Each structure stands twice: as structure tokens, then as C-alpha cells.
Amino acid sequence: MNNASSPCHIVLAEDNPADVGLVRYALREHDVACDLRVIGDGEEVFSFITGLDLDSKRRCPDLLLLDLHLPKRDGKEILRHLRRSERCGQTPVVVLTSSDADMDRESAEKNAAVHFFRKPSSLEQFLRLGHIIKEVLNRAPSC
């Protein structure tokens, strides 16, 4: 269990710098106090999850924001890997994607993503992500 006084730890798996900026903006707009770690490549996210299982001193994220379309390994593979993690398999996941494919949504739901967020075209709609993140973190016992 995390120290209640420490901020929430969010991992953002996203390779698009503009979307990273929008996520940071949405967090600020909704007063979400957190440590945000950005990882821009699927292989690095996969290794990060593996490392969490190998080192019990490393903190599992309180939330993973996962783009489905990352270089080297896709988000679906990363989500399956996370769900098999001994230490962090219960980490809440919000899937971020520009895809509207039913197959992507079904895969996210099958692997227990808590929310499927389709990246919108307007800033106002994108800022709703901050509200979604705040709701998910309010349910996390460590935040």
C-alpha cells in the first residue's frame, strides 16, 4: 500500500507529444495532483511492467493511461501483459485511442480497462479526460 501523503502515480503510455500535452492540460484543469511518468514506446512500457514484478520496492502505478497504438508493441498486448502481472495486475487502465473500431473497444473491455476514451477533435471534449481520471483515482485506495 502506498503512503497516503504521496501523490498518485500515473503512467501515460503515449507516443504523440501533442496528446501528452493535452493530457497534462486536462490533469491541471481538473486539479489532479499526481506524479506523471510518460513512456512513448510500447516495448518500454512492456519492460516497465516486467520490472515492477521483478522489484517489489518499485511502486505500481495508481493508473495507466494507455494509447492502443504505440510503436514496437501495441496497447492491447501491453494491457494483457499488465493483467498477468503478479503485483500490478489490478492497476486501473483508461484506454486512449483515436480508433473507433468495435474490435479495439471489445479488446479493452475484455482485458478489464475501466474506461475507453476515444480521443476527440476538440479541446473541450479532450478535457473531459481529466474528470474521468479524477473519478478513477478517487476509487483508488492509495490516492
Residue numbers in the chain where pLDDT is lower than 70? 1-5, 99-114, 141
H helix or E strand, kind and range, residue 97 = strand 93-97
Length of the chain, please? 143
CATH code for the structural domain at 8-138:
3.40.50.2300
Classify strands 63-67 and 93-97 as parallel, antiparallel or unpaired.
Answer: parallel
pTM, 2 dp: 0.86
Q: How far, in Å, CA of 120 to CA of 92, rounded?
A: 22
- Range 52-57, long-range pairs (CB < 8 A, 24+ positions): 52/85, 52/87, 52/88, 53/85, 53/86, 53/87, 53/88, 56/87
Give the single-character DSSP code of 41. Answer: -
Chain segment 66-99, per-residue pLDDT in tens: 998 899 999 889 999 999 999 999 999 999 887 6
